[in-house]
Amino acid sequence: MYIDIQFVPLPPSPEILSNKTLVVIDVLRATSVIVHALSRGAAEVVPVTTVEEATRLFKTFPPGSTLLGGERGSRKIQGFDFGNSPKEYVAERVKGKRLILTTTNGTKAFRSVAAAEGVLVGSFLNGTATAERSLQLGRDILIFPSGDEGSFSLEDVVCGGMLIDLISKKSHDPIGLTDASWSARFLYQRFEGNLLEALRLSTHGKALDALGLGEDVLYCARTDVTNLVPAFRDGVIRVS
């Protein structure tokens, strides 16, 4: 088994996606929000790339069944039910509901890897469970950090490095690592024990802190608060 990690969120070619388990990561905050909302009982999450697509899709579902969430410029979108802070997604509001989500980086990433056979949703919140599921699936793994507006993002790669470190330690067979996978693993090891330091050092973490959203950064740095491993299939994310 091989693990690669793609440092820049360019859409991979069909050959690269073929016969692989993909793990999409957007620690700040899309995949953390998805994992959190599903853990609070949301029925499913539909990631879409534009605000227009979100509102158009919303109208196709029965009234009361569906909620709108997401951000632009890290802020809640006008008319939406939720922004992109995990803490907004409380059980009383999301239980049993469909959530349509559009964010700057994370929801785009799902579109980029939609052709893969298995796409998991990773974050620190469900890190160990995601590593174990990826390993069980038995295919080569490609970790896909969502990045920050097309650029490399430290927090996503450190989270990818945690998965690589866990999978390498848990596997009975040797795991092949690329130069990028080794690097992500070393970056994780640099911050192991203080992941919050990595998140606060990152460009995106600093921007959220400056906007008064430091509580989100704190929440998204927590590890293994749930065993849920959401999977993305046919455009929809559900607990798998």
**For binding to its own copies (CB under 8 A), which residues are involved?**
7-8, 148, 151-154, 157, 178-180, 182-183, 186-187, 189-190, 201-203
Among residues 173 and 179, whose Cβ is nearest to its own copies?
A: 179
Among residues 25 and 99, whose Cβ is nearest to its own copies?
A: 25
For residue 186, what are the contacts with CB-CB under 8 A and spacing of at least 6? 161
Min dist CB 10 to its own copies, Å, is 8
Min dist CB 112 to its own copies, Å, is 15
Among residues 8 and 91, whose Cβ is nearest to its own copies?
A: 8
- Report the first-to-last Cα separation within the chain, whole angstroms: 22
Among residues 181 and 226, whose Cβ is nearest to its own copies?
A: 181
Distance, in Å, from the CA atom of 53 to the CA atom of 145, rounded to the nearest integer, reads: 23
If one counts every other C-beta atom within 10 angstroms of the C-beta of residue 8, the result is 10
Distance, in Å, from the CA atom of 116 to the CA atom of 15, rounded to the nearest integer, reads: 10
Among residues 9 and 69, whose Cβ is nearest to its own copies?
A: 9
Contact (Cβ atoms closer than 8 angstroms) between residue 93 and residue 227: no
Min dist CB 68 to its own copies, Å, is 30
Min dist CB 152 to its own copies, Å, is 4
Among residues 133 and 204, whose Cβ is nearest to its own copies?
A: 204
Min dist CB 27 to its own copies, Å, is 12
Beta bridge partners of 47: 101
Min dist CB 151 to its own copies, Å, is 7
